[in-house]
Amino acid sequence: MDFVDIVLYFGYFMVIIAAVLAVGFPLYIASKNPKSLINSGMGLGSILVLFVLAWLISGNEVYPSYIEFGVDESLSKFIGGMLNLVYMLAGIAVIGIIASEFRKAFNNG
């Protein structure tokens, strides 16, 4: 085992530790205040609703260039839904930023 292997295994170990802490620590904090989980659940639920809407409006076209990567109709529809979800969330973020700036401009003026 050379130095590169040791560094790679150390990196894998650190990623696993970070993932466990990233999931475990918020759950530990939330267990002390279960009401905080309601807001998280509402956020996840709204993203799920947006994904279902994005998935419903996405197409399921399969072009010849997709076939070489193993993409069929259902995977094409899923990928389209994910892309539509990203576009929706980006649009919501931009609208929120613009609304926030207008609100600050008119409330302070």
Q: What is the pLDDT of residues 15-46, one digit of tens each?
A: 999 999 998 988 888 888 888 788 888 988 99
Q: Which of 21, 91, 85 is nearest to 58 (CA)?
A: 85
What digits encode the pLDDT tens for the residues 51-98?
Answer: 999 999 998 888 888 888 888 999 999 999 999 999 999 999 999 999
Phi, psi for 59 (deg, rounded to 5): -90, 170
Tell me the whole-structure pTM to 2 decimals.
Answer: 0.68
| Residue 33 DSSP class | -
According to DSSP, residue 57 is labeled H
Q: What is the pLDDT of residue 84?
A: 95
In contact, 72 and 62? CB cutoff 8 Å: yes
Give the sign of the dihedral formed by CA 8, CA 13, CA 17, CA 23: positive
